Structure 1
Amino acid sequence: MKHVLLVPIDFSENAWIAACYAAELAKKYDWNIQLLHVYQTFSRLLATQEFKDAVSVHNIAAAEQDMEAFNTRFRATYPDIDCTAACMEGNLNDIVLALIEANPIKFLVMGTKGASGLVNVALGSNTYELIRHSPIGVLAVPASAKSFKLEKVGFLTNFKENDVEILKDFIGRTSPSLQVALLHVNEVNKKPKNEDILFWQERLMKDIGINELTYHDYEMVNRLDVNEPIPYAVERLVEEEAVDLLLVSYTRKSFFRNLFSRSLPKTIANKLTIPTYFRKDD
């Protein structure tokens, strides 16, 4: 059975960009695509059951019509990709987590939207909830990602033990032939020792089987507890290393949790200009 990329969509152009990125990823690794649209149940307390049923019928018809148009466009653009499409009523997080548990899904691929944040409620706050709870990675694709390239990934690291497992999981789901750049943000005058960096590089290459691994750091001007400069530092690292995809781990105690918690939508939309893969670490 082929592995699947699950792509939640809201039929916007940003969702289309995410679906196209997923399709190129699927072509690269011979995966299938599952398009998913989740719509909400109408539940106003004062409405009659008859009215609720009528709204539900309308929502189902509208969703299926939009999905048919989206899927037709997708199949015309990517005729060689094995793609299925489904509309489901309910809670996006619950449905996605259930699908992950029951199917061989490699990644979630979700779109982001320019300066106004993640696509909408369904792909906004829920994206963060999925990052927090999904047992597999969530790949956020910005609207600017209109071409596909995946040769070099950048991994934000804080030299913690969980970094090994996070990177191993990603490489295991893609390919050890990818170039990997370790990216690290330093506090002022707290640059890691060269021997420690070399030890970490050698360990990752040995444990994960990566063919090419480099290291690049950036020293902060301000304290790490000042949030605003951190996205700038990450952006600089991404630009200087010219990575195609950014890899970020999420843990309750992670330094990067502070970067990508409450300000996640704003940070992704305004600061990160390349596809970014978030992976929860238990």
Structure 2
Amino acid sequence: MEKKILIPTNFTKHAWNTLVYALNLYKNIPCTFFILNAYEVPTRITLSRNYNAELEAAKAKSEKGLQKILQGLNFRKENEKHQFKTISRNKDLAEAMQECIDAHNIDLILMVSRGENVSINAAFENEISEVTEKVEDCPFLILPEQMQELPESNREIVFPTNYKFPFKNKEVSVLIDMTINLNASIRILYIDSDSRPLTKEQEQNKETLKTYFAEVDFSFHRLTQTTVTTGVHLFIESRESNFLALYKRKQGFFSKLFSQRFKEDIDFNPKVPVLILKELK
């Protein structure tokens, strides 16, 4: 089945690397890549000639940059089933992304975070936190600027959960697809900070995950005597895992996973790519 991937660009080297990463990630799969550039020209109280000129100049710059990307892609022939469409919008980035999702039924958004770590916490004011908070009904894959090459084998995606809330199959489908594409394994991680047995509801939710992940390699893991953030970091580092998958509910940014540990979680900045699964209707 064809995938529809949205990749915002600001025409930097890192944005280009994100696109190349996406081509490699889906090299064996038919895809349409929507390359979006959102630019903003501050609205004046009166639409003067000066403002119109600024708007036209910004539009021309955006379209020229997108055309240059298409020219660069002509030299890459990884998959003849890959198609590319460019979108230029004079809008706020989150608004432009949501418009694309609604219009084109996007399956996944790829973005790059500044620095070696992936900064995804809403406690910080940054572009990644803002768009992942505002944009609905589509998962994200957030990459660090310095992306590490994947090993040839033993690839792992860590998926922390407290089992307290049920998932819908379609909410974890992108995680399953990515696991299959990468020939990877899912490591479902439960941080038992309180040393309490699972409730009946938690056990049921755990069993449901077994049915969802039946077609991929997965395993359950449990850590005790540690906090959620520390436990997730230590688990990833000790196993040299390659990806982290987090589930974001609409009530708040990962609020149901990191519910009572706000002060600690503002430092949650993993060094691996983070797949953000979104609560769907």
TM-score by length of 2: 0.77
**RMSD value, Cα:** 3.7
Q: Secondary structure of 1:147's partner? A: coil
2:223 to 218, 228, 242: 218
Structure 1, unaligned runs of 5 or more: 223-229
Q: Work out which of the residue numbers 183, 191, 204 in structure 1 matches 2:189.
A: 183
Indicate the residue corresponding to 2:96 in structure 1: 95
Aligned in 2, Cα 1:257/1:11: closer, same or farther, shift over 3 Å? farther
Structure 2 counterpart of 1:42? 42
Match of 1:147 among 149, 159, 170: 149
Q: Which moved more, 1:171-180 or 1:271-280?
A: 171-180
Q: Which amino acid in 2 is paired with 1:52?
A: Y
| Contact 2:161-2:188 within 8 A present in 1 as well | yes
Would you say how many aligned residue pairs link Structure 1 and Structure 2? 267
2:32 is aligned with what amino acid? N
Q: Could you say what secondary structure the match of 2:107 adopts? A: strand
CA contact under 8 A between 2:112 and 2:145: conserved in structure 1?
A: yes
Partner SS, residue 71 of structure 1 = helix
Residue 158 in structure 1 maps to residue 162 in structure 2: yes
Displacement, 1:22? 1.3
Match of 2:238 in 1: 240
Query: CA separation of 1:190/1:137 partners in 2, compared to 1, >3 Å: closer, same or farther?
Result: same
Task: Say if 2:118 and 2:273, in contact at 8 Å, map to a contact too.
Answer: no
Cα drift, residue 164 of structure 1: 5.2
Q: Secondary structure at the match of 1:243?
A: coil
Q: Residue type of the partner of 1:23?
A: L
Shift of 1:247: 1.0
1:196 CA drift (Å): 9.6
Matching residue of 1:279: 277
Q: Which residue of 2 aligns with 1:13?
A: 13
Task: Summarize the Cα distance change of 1:134–1:205 in structure 2 as closer, same or farther, 3 Å threshold.
Answer: same
What residue number does 1:109 align with? 110
SS state of the match for residue 37, structure 2? Answer: strand
Deviation of the 1:32 alpha carbon: 2.2
CA gap of 1:280–1:76, structure 2 versus 1, over 3 A, is same
Deviation at 1:31, TM superposition (A): 1.8
Structure 1: which amino acid aligns with 2:223?
Answer: Y
Normalized per residue, the structure richer in helix is 1
Q: Kindly tell me: are residues 83 and 133 of structure 1, through their superposed partners in 2, closer, same or farther at Cα, counting changes over 3 Å? A: closer
What does residue 227 of structure 1 align with? none
Could you tell me which amino acid in structure 2 is paired with residue 185 of structure 1?
I
- Measured against aligned partners, the alpha-carbon deviations of 1:124-181 in whole angstroms (never above 9, x if no partner) come to 4365334444201011111122435694322111113333546643246446664211
Partner Cα distance (2:261, 2:86) in 1 = 30
Instruction: Name the residue aligned to 1:2.
Output: 2
Distance in 2, matches of 1:164 and 1:26, equals: 24
* Matching residue of 1:75: 74
